[in-house]
Amino acid sequence: MASDWELIPTKYEGLYYRKNQRNKKVFIARFKIDGKAYKRKVGSEPSMNTMMANEARLKLISEMKSDIEDVILEKTFDEYFEEYLESWRATHSESWWYNTNLNYNRYLKDAVGDMLPSQIRSFYIQKIMNNMLLGENDKHKKYKPSTVKHVKNAVTGTFDHIIKQGINIRNIGRDLTIPSYDNKVYFSISDDQAKKLFDVILSYDDPKWRAYFVWLLHGRRKMEVAEARWEWLHMHNMEYVIPGKYTKSGKDIIAPITNLLKDALERYGIREEGFVFVGNGQTGHISSTGIDFQWRNIRALAGVPKMRLHDIRHLIGYIGVNSGYSLEQIGAVLSHGSTETTKRYSNMKRDTARDVLGNMFDMYVK
């Protein structure tokens, strides 16, 4: 295709030409459809003159507009959502895929799933979200803004997927609003309660769940451990690697296997491959529901009824600060992002994490 500076305008708007090697005119049409610019060859001399080229240009514009409209109308929102899920499956964790699908099917599918994307209006979705927040739904339950945000993300992500296919449609997800909220929950726990919590976890009857919660005591997040695979554990050098696909930061986490964790895993039964904590659900690993059930039992036994599972990470930070460790040292325990630029420091950070965890367990483990 000729560069713009090579094109010579004709008397028809948007129609240009350039000369080929035989000194014949090659007609180029330039036009916009819904704000997107196009440049297309429509013909050349001697088979086409300037007037015929302009007619070809107008016909091409009409056909392309029709094609774009047909593409928009040929699939339902359900179908585009399925494509969106599949397109991200390779780079997102199984729990992300499962929860996104679950929230869509629970809150959006019946309302807009059979509609064409061009038929969906932002106020349809906003009403669904408002009803969730206000409790005006089938369950008469008021949902947290953090839960409603999943609905917004499903809509926004699906429309982004549609737009990436070259379809000119507005992303109505950008118009949806959720009240601002503070997702930080503050808690306090005494040393005696912390020691009791450690004791309950380390003496928990079920070896699978004991190993799971012992791993959480090492600063990991709920689903990082739930989705863990045996292939990630390198027992020969006492460390494990969680791929960035499964971490909040998107970076690999490299962390030490302490003697406490090794013992818990050995009592559970070490294997060579597959999920460490196998479950009966669709994902193949233990479910969030199962984890929450076991955590309620542990909280009751430890006497910390209001403590969230994620607060275990906060507890580790609290213990670290009160033990005189720096924020950088505590950060080495809670997450270590491994990139090319930080790789040279990885051994030092793993040693720091091992030291902090070792001292913490000496203080709180009987």
Cα–Cα distance for residue pair 105/262, rounded to 1 Å: 40
Do 65 and 114 sit in the same domain of this protein? no
Helices (H) and strands (E) in the chain, counts: 14, 8
Question: Is the confidence at residue 142, as pLDDT, over 60?
Answer: yes
Residue 229 has phi, psi (to 5 degrees) of -120, 150
Looking at the structure, tell me whether residues 92 and 136 fall in a common domain.
yes
131 falls in which pLDDT band (50, 70, 90)?
Answer: confident
Domain presence at residue 203: yes
Task: Tell whether 182 is covered by a domain.
Answer: no
* Per-residue model confidence (pLDDT) at position 1: 46
**What does the alpha-carbon distance between residue 268 and residue 257 come to, in Å, rounded to a whole number?**
15
Instruction: List the Cα angle 342/227/151 in 5-degree steps.
Output: 95
Cβ partners under 8 Å of residue 293, min gap 6: none
In a domain, 181, yes or no: no
For the residues 248-271, what does the mean pLDDT come to? Answer: 91
Same domain, 222 and 301: yes
Share of the chain above pLDDT 90, in %: 36
Distance CA 120, CA 159 (A): 11
Do 273 and 130 lie in one domain? The reply is: no
Per-residue pLDDT of 291-341, as tens digits, reads: 999 999 999 999 988 888 988 888 887 777 666 667 777 777 776 443 333
Phi and psi torsions of 134, nearest 5°? -90, -10
> In terms of domains, do 225 and 313 share one?
yes
Residue 117: CATH number of its domain:
1.10.150.130
Number of domains in the chain: 3
* Residue 342: pLDDT band with limits 50, 70, 90: very low
CATH of the domain at 295: 1.10.443
Q: Of 148, 195, 223, 237, which is closest to residue 360 (Cα–Cα)?
A: 195
pLDDT of residue 2: 46
43-47, 348-352, 360-364: range with highest mean pLDDT: 43-47
Per-residue pLDDT of 172-224, as tens digits, reads 998 888 866 555 555 677 878 888 999 999 999 999 999 999 999 998 999 99
User: What's the confidence (pLDDT) of residue 318?
Assistant: 74
Indicate the average pLDDT of the chain: 83
